[in-house]
Structure 1
Amino acid sequence: MRKLTYHVAATVDGFIARSDGGVDCFAHEGDHVTEYLAALKAYDAVVMGRRTYEFGLKLGVTDPYPWMDTYVVSRTMKESPDARVKLVAEDAAGAVRRLKEQQGGDIYLCGGGELATCLFDAGLVDEVILKVAPVLLGGGVALSPGLRAAAQLDLLSTKVHRNGVIVSRYAVRR
């Protein structure tokens, strides 16, 4: 079975974006960025929510990860702006469960706190790679808002970068 990894940046107080979706609070340069870009090459598929997808779409990017099969979970988008990007309109957990059962490499859960919560609640997230930025926002888009139950994590590794970004890798305990 394929592994689903929530690979995400967050502030020290647990926000993945500002309330307006902005991510200017995160360092976009440094060793952690190089490592992140290299890590992306290990994934065969990506699953993201509509708001995460629309962030790139506003910049003219219709296929943000052209080497991966891309799935966007949305109840409101009626058609995909890119032939390679598949829409998942209903039952995100069921769609991801079926995707995990298919042959292939690991799956990247890209952004989307609400989608992450849905997939944690369904027991589908296998790993969390958390890039903690040395900043406090006090509000914004939460990492995993409204979980039904705590997700217990086992620390696998941690790396501290010179710019203060801490990258920790966790296995989700079953």
Structure 2
Amino acid sequence: SDYRIKLPRNVTEDKNRRLLALYERKLKAAPDIHDTLALMALPMSVASNSPRHRVEAAFRIAGLSKFFGDRITTFEDVARGKPAPDVYLEAAKRARVTTGSCLVIEDSKAGVASAVAAGCHVIGFTGLAHDGAALGRSLSRLGARKVVNRHADLPAAIAAALRL
């Protein structure tokens, strides 16, 4: 569509620079996430609808890189981003596993739809949502088998899912 708006040539670069500067000043890891991830005795990957540079910057600043290393797949690596299944299919391929053996923790409707369409098992996470109850209902309707609200509840939810 043509809105006849002329944006400055460097608008995207300026936005990215400002966002990363904001990350440097304000971004903090969610409460309990380091402890929760440290408890996981499973290989973990990331499948994100954000640009790779943003994911890598956020993980570096929040101290999460050590948990995932180079196991990051973004929409930039596939033809279609979420809610299409492509990013999860590619992440599983890179990890050399089937999507049916993947357990996904997702905090968005598009992400749950994507993971379910890829054939993954999904736990919904609502701990950072403004209206966690409403989001939880949506994630369940889209196919999340369980929904949790706190990072500290993830290990038990994951253990239960692995027993299925």
TM-score by length of structure 1 reads 0.41
Q: Which has the higher strand share?
A: 1
Which structure has the higher relative contact order (CA within 8 Å, separation 6+)? 1
Q: Which has the higher helix share?
A: 2
